Structure 1
Amino acid sequence: MTSPFDPQISLALGTDLPPGPEVDEHGNAELPSCFQVSELATASLKAATREMAALTGARRATLDRCLASMWFDRTLRPVGWELPAAWDPIAGDYAAQDGWIRLHTNAPHHRDAALSVLGCAAERAQVTETVSRWEKSALEAAVVAAGGAAAAMHALDEWAAHPQGEAVAAEPLIDWRETGSRAAPVSMQGLRVLDLTRVLAGPVATRFLAGYGAEVLRIDPPWWNEPGVEPEVTLGKRRAGLDLTQSADRATFEDLLRQADVLVHGYRPGALERLGYGGRKLVPGQIEVSLCAYGWTGPWAGRRGFDSLVQMSCGIADEGMRRRQAARPVPLPVQALDHATGYLMAAAVLRALRRRQASGQIFSARLSLARTGALLVSGGIRDVTGAPIEVTEADRSTQVEATGWGAARRLRFPATLDGHPPRWDIPAGPLRVDAPCWRSTLTAG
């Protein structure tokens, strides 16, 4: 099957190398939306699967379209315990004087920033009443200036005419840059991937790589937590903590970076430079795949953002509201921009590894949630169709995962290579529980 997104993704990855085997798709599902969300789920996961098959020499690849849509949502089913809430109580959409605005307050410092601007208590009713006295763009600007995360809702045509919308539309889906050369053998087994990503796209990419043998080491600062998604995004990874404002931790980080084959990060433009790592001089031959929220050019290139905020900014939530004739914003049924960007990042890592194997050239890639949003919109808009997907017993893995919070069963992964699904040797668990070193170093010691 060919989706409207397949040709664009194939072109973005490049035509310089032979494609992997055709992916045998089966099953069907359609998440409820006026956008082709399930098609985006299938296309992005298929791209990563096909690249993995090409790199590893797999001769047959399969993809369950129904499970692909399911893996764009929560995949873990606890046994005797409950998953943490996905959202902070203050996070959400609020009616301003002239329209809607979304506040993203899952991180404590983002919540503090929003409340400092509003000057009210952390109570939903008070926030609602205070926001109603603001103009949406003025509040958005104030929260962002205070170090928070917020997005006023735009219509699709408004975003298309917005300076940032125009900038994003001019960017490639995957922005490739040749950054060096290095002859080195390529194998997924033991490939060292340094993961400096947060919610949600980057961790999805590195989770996929870990399932096929990569050694993924995730690094978080001491103050960061994301309890709502840790059961999803920590699967297969060792998780360490470092404070890059401390000289000893910086030395440890630089040592890890020198030994990494791939760096995956979600730092906004200029953020690495502010940390003192501009120009990536430590490892000139390393593959680097990075993402940001609002694109790499334009006036908002440095703006912090998340999937739900980008949906508000770029017109997706507004179009959902219009199509459903709803009284409030209607986002996508899943955080599809995050997940799709994550699988495209994984595909980019794999394509870069294949290029290094073929020619010794090192390519790095940049992606953004907003550009993936443009990809989704390009697939067309229709009346709302589809329905929520009911999980059956057959959709669950038979294996019990001993997570850091308790036993659980995870949904079966949608893809197989030569009949085998990915295998994650490390169960999901809390952040910062491992030593900041490569597992192969521990084994050697």
Structure 2
Amino acid sequence: MNPIVAPMNVLQALWNGARLDAAALQSVQFTGDGCPQGFASSFAVVPAIQASVAAAALASTQIEQLREPRRQAQQISVDARHAAFEASGYFALDGVVPDLWSPISGLYACGAGIGQPGWVRIHANFEHHRDGALALLGLPTDAQTSRIEVQQALQQCSAADFEARAIAAGLPIVALRSHEQWLEQGQEAEIANRPLIALERVSDAPPLPWPQLGDGQRPLAGIKLLDLTRIIAGPVAARTLAAYGADVLMINGPHLPNIEAIAELSRGKRSAQLDLRGEAGRGDLQQLLREAHVFLQAYRPDALAAKGFGAEQLAQLRPGIVVAELAAYGWQGPWAGRRGFDSLVQTASGINVDEGLTRGDGKPRVLPVQALDYGAGFLLAFGIQAALLRQATEGGSWRVRVTLAGVAYWLRSLGRVAVEAGDWDQPRADMSPYLETLDSGFGQLQAVRHCAQFSRTPAAWEHVAMPPGSHPALW
């Protein structure tokens, strides 16, 4: 194991992979301990987050210089502790920190009653996922069913059988695997053959004009982004670009459920609703596309293509568009298209097992933050801007892809980190220096400020967080 992973080395690899100007790296500084107190992990979680944020922030300054060459290049700094707290997803509404996890969600020992011990993780934060999991176990499908009842029912199920039935039902449930067992699935081999951030030219198109950048405006001012995402990684990407000045319009469906964290993830965005099941909603989205520079979505593969909004279709509707796509496991391979969330990918890919083994008690253990979600979000923000730079200089319509499983593979590739035995249970430092308190449409919101520091145009969110449908679907 390594004593430390240097975030600058991680950033350099990301930057070079996107074929951007290496001289720009001189403008970045990293501060703080690579493993802040309270964030112990045998994976390089905090350096990975630091480097991902720095890549996104630095890319915005490259866009700024392309738009306004007379401006002096900005300096960027990212502090380890601040980055860790941002990736913790902390927020409070009216002084109350909400419990974001359903009582049914989590990791369960199973199979003891049939002599096939194992573990499964259930993700049940949406009611339809909760009810589907309970129905598989023959339990009442309501909020009164307890975690103890789920645990008892799982004693009569093997992990492999329960996972297989869940997959057939389209439910987000996975069996716990070691990394070796994950390799046997074949999906990591597919991921290993693809870049962490995949940039692909979809079709030819002339460069899209950007509005003039005014004095004091942030680097992405006037760049328009449609955000059709709801679950952490995608919203983090859009929120990050909003912090750098992008005009972000979040499009939700009136029939779709949302997680409580939408209150924190909506900072910097205007929030509208369109029902893409009908012609009127699809027509309104087509109208918005006429002015958009970026289209960000995290629907299941091919779901939007069936409605006329796949990458190739978008390139025809808006030549020069950058289409950003996020998936749990990818678009190819035996696990392609499966439902997944950060916690599930950690469980399936061996991260939980490895953290537990390193901790010493052998119990499956999660990462100290949702590093796959936040890492994917920051990396996608970086990839979108790399594509915007290509579009502006080379033309073309572009597709950017990132997967949670790809981020897990990347995180493992950075090398494991030695952790002192006494570091595992250390309390976290005071978070208050990194918090901001704002009024919002959800109540008084307290949350972590964006961790990238700019020397001239500080990251900021122009719009307060508002519930879905608070704004018209207009630029």
TM-score (norm 1): 0.92
Q: Is 1:174 aligned to residue 188 of structure 2?
A: no
Among residues 285, 298, 301, which one is paired with 2:320 in the alignment?
285
Q: Which residue of 1 aligns with 2:80?
A: 65
After TM superposition, the structure 1 stretch with the greater mean CA deviation from structure 2, 270-279 or 44-53, is 270-279
Among residues 380, 395, 412, which one is paired with 2:449 in the alignment?
412
CA gap 1:11/1:364 in 2 versus in 1, 3 angstroms: same
Q: Report deviation, 1:156.
A: 1.0
After TM superposition, the structure 1 stretch with the greater mean CA deviation from structure 2, 375-384 or 93-102, is 375-384
**Deviation readout 1:85-127 (Å, 9 max, x if unpaired):** 2111111111122311101111122112212211113321111
After TM superposition, the structure 1 stretch with the greater mean CA deviation from structure 2, 96-105 or 269-278, is 269-278
- Counterparts of 1:142 and 1:428, CA distance in 2: 38
Gap regions ≥5 residues in structure 1: 439-445
Q: Is the 8 A contact 2:75 2:454 kept in 1?
A: yes
Q: Is 1:436 aligned to residue 473 of structure 2?
A: yes
Q: Is the 8 A contact 1:268 1:301 kept in 2?
A: no
The aligned runs of 1:326-405 (5 Å cut-off) are 326=361, 328-385=363-420, 386=423, 387-397=426-436, 400-405=437-442
Among residues 26, 30, 40, which one is paired with 1:32 in the alignment?
40
Q: Which residue of 2 aligns with 1:42?
A: 50
**Deviation readout 1:26-75 (Å, 9 max, x if unpaired):** 22351211111111111111111111111113432222221011110124
SS, match of residue 128 in structure 1: helix
Q: Which residue of 2 aligns with 1:94?
A: 108
- Counterparts of 1:152 and 1:224, CA distance in 2: 27
- Counterparts of 2:12 and 2:222, CA distance in 1: 32
SS, match of residue 99 in structure 2: coil
Q: Is the 8 A contact 2:225 2:292 kept in 1?
A: yes
Among residues 150, 154, 166, which one is paired with 1:131 in the alignment?
154
Q: Which residue of 2 aligns with 1:108?
A: 127
- Counterparts of 2:456 and 2:283, CA distance in 1: 43
- Indicate the RMSD between aligned Cα atoms, in angstroms: 2.1
- Counterparts of 1:406 and 1:270, CA distance in 2: 36
Paired-residue identity, %: 34
Q: Is 1:119 aligned to residue 154 of structure 2?
A: no
Q: Report deviation, 1:15.
A: 4.2
Q: Is 1:304 aligned to residue 304 of structure 2?
A: no
Q: Which residue of 2 aligns with 1:23?
A: 28
- Counterparts of 1:24 and 1:3, CA distance in 2: 8
Q: Is the 8 A contact 1:212 1:422 kept in 2?
A: yes
Q: Report deviation, 1:297.
A: 1.4
- Counterparts of 2:180 and 2:443, CA distance in 1: 47
- Counterparts of 1:434 and 1:294, CA distance in 2: 33
- Counterparts of 1:417 and 1:436, CA distance in 2: 31
Q: Which residue of 1 aligns with 2:89?
A: 74
Give 1:245's aligned amino acid.
R
Q: Report deviation, 1:428.
A: 1.8
SS, match of residue 290 in structure 2: helix
Q: Is 1:218 aligned to residue 250 of structure 2?
A: yes
Q: Which residue of 1 aligns with 2:216?
A: none
SS, match of residue 409 in structure 2: helix
Q: Is 1:143 aligned to residue 166 of structure 2?
A: yes
- Counterparts of 1:144 and 1:333, CA distance in 2: 27
After TM superposition, the structure 1 stretch with the greater mean CA deviation from structure 2, 222-231 or 40-49, is 222-231
Give 2:439's aligned amino acid.
A
Q: Is the 8 A contact 1:317 1:330 kept in 2?
A: yes
Q: Report deviation, 1:4.
A: 5.0
SS, match of residue 185 in structure 1: coil
Q: Is the 8 A contact 1:197 1:266 kept in 2?
A: yes
**Deviation readout 1:126-145 (Å, 9 max, x if unpaired):** 11111121111211121122
Q: Which residue of 2 aligns with 1:443?
A: none
Give 2:104's aligned amino acid.
I
Q: Tell me the number of residue pairs that the alignment of Structure 1 and Structure 2 aligns.
A: 435
CA gap 1:86/1:11 in 2 versus in 1, 3 angstroms: same
SS, match of residue 271 in structure 1: coil
The aligned runs of 1:200-219 (5 Å cut-off) are 200-219=232-251
Q: Report deviation, 1:204.
A: 0.5
Q: Is 1:11 aligned to residue 16 of structure 2?
A: yes
SS, match of residue 181 in structure 1: coil
Gap regions ≥5 residues in structure 2: 1-5, 66-72, 112-116, 212-219
Q: Report deviation, 1:166.
A: 1.6
Give 2:443's aligned amino acid.
G
Q: Is the 8 A contact 2:27 2:74 kept in 1?
A: no
- Counterparts of 2:372 and 2:16, CA distance in 1: 19
After TM superposition, the structure 1 stretch with the greater mean CA deviation from structure 2, 114-123 or 203-212, is 114-123
Give 1:312's aligned amino acid.
T
After TM superposition, the structure 1 stretch with the greater mean CA deviation from structure 2, 326-335 or 32-41, is 326-335
- Counterparts of 1:26 and 1:86, CA distance in 2: 30
**Deviation readout 1:141-180 (Å, 9 max, x if unpaired):** 2112212111111111221232112211222111111123
Q: Report deviation, 1:370.
A: 0.3
